[in-house]
Structure 1
Amino acid sequence: MSAVSLLGEIADVGRDRVRGGYSRHLFDPAERELREWFTEQARRRGLDVETDRNGNLWAWLGEPGPNAFVTGSHLDSVPGGGAFDGPLGVVSALDAVTALEKPNRPVAVIAFAEEEGGRFGVPCLGSQLLTGAIDPARALALRDPDGVTFAEVTAQAGLEPGRDDEALGRIGTFLELHVEQGRGLVDLGSPLAVGSTVIAHGRWRFTFTGQGNHAGATRITDRHDPMLPAAAVVAAARRLASKVEGARATVGRLVPKPGGTNVIASTVDLWLDARVPSDDRVRPLVDEIAEAASRAAAEEGCEVKISEESYSRTATFDTGLREQLRDLLGGAPELPTGAGHDAAILAAHVPAGMLYVRNPTGVSHAPEEFAEDDDVERGARALADVLRHLST
C-alpha cells in the first residue's frame, strides 16, 4: 500500500469541525485511534510493536538491537493543523520498510509522542523525555487546558516517563521525513531537500494579573485590565522581531480568565514563540519583549510573570549523513528550517537527519498545508532508497 493510500486511510481521523483541519492530541480519542491504526499497519507488515516508557511507539523489523536505523515522525497535530505534518513521515516510513529485504542492521519505525505540544504545551515531549532533555518531574507537572496533568495521563496509560538510555542506545541513525513547512522547495523548484539545520527556538508564558470586573459598570479610569498589556506584547513581538535579521516572534495563543464577553478579565495568559537563526540572539529578543510587557503592565496597574517553558539551541544535522543523503538523492539541495522536529532533539545524541517533501502552498500548521501525490510518492521512494542503502 502506497504512502498516499495510507494517508487516505486516516483522512477522517481527528477532523476539527470548528477550526478546520485536524486536532489530534496526545492520548485524546483521535490520537488513540491513530495509535491503534499504526499498530495494525505495522503488524500487517510483520513488524513487532512496543510502547516505550514515554509513550513513543516503535515498530521493529526483526529483533530490536543496537545500531538500528530508525525512521518515522509523529501522529499528533497542532489545533486545527494540516493533514501532512507528522503523519507523512510515519506513512512513508511504513511504506519504505515494507519494501526492505534482509537488512544487515536492526530497523524500526517510530511515532513520537506529543511532538507538537498541542495538549501539554511543550514540543517534542516524547523525544525530550527519551533523551533526558527535560526533567521528568517538570514534565509530569504539566497540565492540559482542562487541568489534567501529564502525570495523570501517563499513569493511566501505564507509563513511567523519563530518560530511556536503553531505547536511545539502540538508535544508530535516525532519519525523519517531513512535509516542508515553508516555501523553500517551491522557490528552489525541487520536490525534495535534505535538512541542514533547525534554528534556535523557544516558548515563553506571560501571565498578566489585573482586576476582574463588570464591563458595563466599571469606568475606564477605574480599570486594571490585563488584556491591554497582553495586547501590547502581541504588537511588541512583531515590532521587535522585525529588527533582528531572520527572527520570528509569534503569539498564537492567548487565554483570558474568566473569558466572558461582558467581563473584564482578571488574568490573561499568552504564549510567545520566538526563533532566531543565532543562538545568542533568542533570549535577548525575548528580554526586549519582556521589558515591553513590564512597562505595559505597570501603565495599566497590572502585574506580569514570565516563565520559559521550552528552549532548544540551533541543531545541525550530521554532516556525513547529509552528504550520503545528497548523493543518494542525486544532489538534492540542503534546506535550513525554523520548524522544530524530533530529529533536532535526537541530533545532540545520535547521527540524525531530515528529508523534506515540497509543500506547494508554503502553508503549515493550518488546513491549507499540502503535498502533491507525486511528491508524496517521490519522498516515500527516496526514503526507501536511503533505508535500503544504509541498512544493507
Structure 2
Amino acid sequence: MTTTGLLRTISGVGTDRGRGGYSRHGFAKAELELRDWFIAEAGWCGLDVEVDRNSNIWAWWGDPGPDAVVTGSHLDSVPGGGAFDGPLGVVSALAAVEAMRSKGFQPAKPLAVVVFAEEEGGRFGVPCLGSRLLTGSLDPAAALGLTDNSGVTLADAAETAGFDPAAFGRDTEALSRIGCFIELHVEQGRGLIELDAPVGVASSIMAHGRWRFRFTGEGNHAGATPIADRRDPMLPASQLVLAARRAATGGARATVGRLVPNPGGTNVIASTVDVWLDARAENDASTRDLVEKITSAATVAAADEGCAVTVTEESYGDTVIFDPALRDDLSRMLGGVPALPTGAGHDAGVLAAHVPAAMLFVRNPTGVSHAPAEHAEPADCEAGAVALASVLEHLARSS
C-alpha cells in the first residue's frame, strides 16, 4: 500500500473536534489504537514485533542483532496536531519494507522499524520520552513521576496500558543493536519549498528546551479587590510572553504555547499562574542566554506586582550535528539532495549522541507544522518512501 493509502487507514483515529487536527497522546486511547494498527500492519509486512522495556515497538526483518539498520518515527501528536508529523515516517518505513520485499531484496543486516513512545510530550510534558529512556538520557524515576493535565502519572498511565513502569530505563541491549538510525519526517518549515526539492536530509537540530515558570500571588475576588491591593500573577505571566518575543532575535525562537491559571475562574484573581516556555537557538550558549534574559524580565515583573516566581527546567537537548559521513552518503546516493538544519526536535536527535543517525525530510507545501494545516503532497510522500527504501537497501547490504 502507498504511504498516503496507509495514512488514510488511520485518518479517523484521534481526531480533535475542538482544536481541529489530531490529539493522539501517549498511552491514551487514540495512541493505543495506533499501536495496535502498527503491530497489525507490521505483521502483514512479514515483520516480527516486540515491545521493549520502555514501551517502544520494534518490528524486525530478520533476527534482532547488532549492526541493525533501523528506521521509524512516532505515532503520537501535539494537541490538535497535523496528520503527518510522526505517522509519515512510520508509514513510509512500512511502505519501504514492502517495496524491498516485492523486488526480492534480502538484507544482509538485521533491519527494524521502530515506533517511539510519546515523542511530542503532548501528555506528560517531556518530549522524546521513549528514546530518552532507552538511551538513559532521562532518569526513569523522574519520568515516572511526570503528570498529565488530569494528575495521572506516567507510571499509572503506562501500567493501565499494560506496560511495566518498573522496567523503564536505559536499555543497553536494545541500544547496542542499532548500527544506524534513519528517521523520515515531514519538514517543519519552508526549506524544501525554497529549494524546490521534494526530499532533503537533515544537517543539524537547534539546541532547545522547555521551562515552566510558576508565578505565585494572592487569589482574591475580581470585583471586591481594588487594583492597588492586588498581587495578581497574571500580570508578570503576561510580561513573560512579551519578554520572550523581545528576546528572540538573531534566529532564536522563544514561544509560550501554554498558560494555566489557578483556579481559573473568570471572576477570580488567580493565586498562581504556570507558564511554559519553549526556547531554541543555534547552540547551547545562545539558548541559555536567551532563557536567562527572559527569566530576568520575569523576575522583575513578578517583583513589581508583589509576586514570586520559580523556574523549572523540564527538558533540554543540546545542539545536534548529524553524522556528517552518513549524511553525505545519503545525500550522494539520492542524487545530491540538499542538507538543511531544523529547529524541531526528533528521536533521531536523541539517538545521534549514541549511534550514527540521519534524517530525511519530505517537503511540506504549507510550511506549517504542529497544526491542522500541516501537509505533504502524495507525490512527495511517495518520493520520500522511495528515497527511504533506497537508503535502507544501501545500508542493509553487506559491507
1:98 matched to 2:98? The reply is yes
The separation in 1 between residues aligned to 2:223 and 2:17, in whole angstroms, is: 34
1:261 matched to 2:266? The reply is yes
Partner of 2:386: 381
Give the superposition deviation at 1:271. 0.5
Report matched runs for 1:199-214 at 5 Å: 199-214=206-221
TM-score by length of 2: 0.97
1:367 matched to 2:372? The reply is yes
1:275 matched to 2:252? The reply is no
Q: Which of 290, 309, 312 matches 1:304?
A: 309
The separation in 2 between residues aligned to 1:216 and 1:17, in whole angstroms, is: 35
1:291 matched to 2:296? The reply is yes
Q: Which of 387, 390, 395 matches 1:390?
A: 395
Partner of 1:43: 43
Give the superposition deviation at 1:154. 2.2
Partner of 1:241: 248
Q: Which of 151, 154, 174 matches 1:167?
A: 174
The separation in 1 between residues aligned to 2:175 and 2:309, in whole angstroms, is: 40
Give the letter for the 1:359 counterpart.
N
Partner of 1:318: 323
Runs of 4+ in 1 over 2 A off after TM superposition: 154-159
The separation in 1 between residues aligned to 2:297 and 2:284, in whole angstroms, is: 22
Report matched runs for 1:124-273 at 5 Å: 124-156=128-160, 157-159=162-164, 160-242=167-249, 245-273=250-278
The separation in 2 between residues aligned to 1:271 and 1:129, in whole angstroms, is: 22
Equivalent pairs: percent with the same residue? 66
Structure 2, unaligned stretches of length 5 or more?
none
Give the superposition deviation at 1:320. 1.3
Report matched runs for 1:110-125 at 5 Å: 110-125=114-129
Conserved 8 A contact 2:27-2:158: no
Partner of 1:59: 59
Give the superposition deviation at 1:28. 0.6
TM-score by length of 1: 0.98
The separation in 2 between residues aligned to 1:120 and 1:197, in whole angstroms, is: 26
Give the superposition deviation at 1:99. 2.0
The separation in 2 between residues aligned to 1:158 and 1:33, in whole angstroms, is: 15
Partner of 1:28: 28
The separation in 2 between residues aligned to 1:24 and 1:326, in whole angstroms, is: 33
Deviations 1:298-349 (A, max 9, x none): 1111110101111111101111111111111100000100000000000000
Give the secondary-structure state (helix, strand or coil) at the position aligned to 2:95: helix
The separation in 2 between residues aligned to 1:258 and 1:54, in whole angstroms, is: 35
The separation in 2 between residues aligned to 1:265 and 1:153, in whole angstroms, is: 30
Give the letter for the 1:130 counterpart.
L
Conserved 8 A contact 1:21-1:366: yes
The separation in 1 between residues aligned to 2:376 and 2:180, in whole angstroms, is: 26
Give the superposition deviation at 1:155. 2.8
The separation in 2 between residues aligned to 1:251 and 1:172, in whole angstroms, is: 38
Conserved 8 A contact 1:57-1:111: yes
Conserved 8 A contact 1:225-1:265: yes
Taking only aligned residues, the RMSD between alpha carbons, in angstroms, comes to 0.8
Partner of 1:76: 76
Conserved 8 A contact 2:55-2:163: no
Give the secondary-structure state (helix, strand or coil) at the position aligned to 1:99: helix
Conserved 8 A contact 1:154-1:161: no
Aligned length: 390
Give the secondary-structure state (helix, strand or coil) at the position aligned to 2:313: strand
The separation in 2 between residues aligned to 1:27 and 1:307, in whole angstroms, is: 25
Give the letter for the 1:187 counterpart.
E
Give the secondary-structure state (helix, strand or coil) at the position aligned to 2:350: helix
The separation in 1 between residues aligned to 2:380 and 2:252, in whole angstroms, is: 30
Give the superposition deviation at 1:62. 1.8
Conserved 8 A contact 2:206-2:281: yes
Give the letter for the 2:80 counterpart.
G
The separation in 2 between residues aligned to 1:258 and 1:193, in whole angstroms, is: 47
Give the superposition deviation at 1:137. 1.0
Give the superposition deviation at 1:240. 1.1
Give the secondary-structure state (helix, strand or coil) at the position aligned to 2:275: strand
Give the superposition deviation at 1:191. 0.6
Deviations 1:348-375 (A, max 9, x none): 0000000000000000000000000000
**Worse overlay, 154-163 or 87-96:** 154-163
Partner of 1:328: 333
The separation in 2 between residues aligned to 1:267 and 1:129, in whole angstroms, is: 31
Structure 1, unaligned stretches of length 5 or more?
none
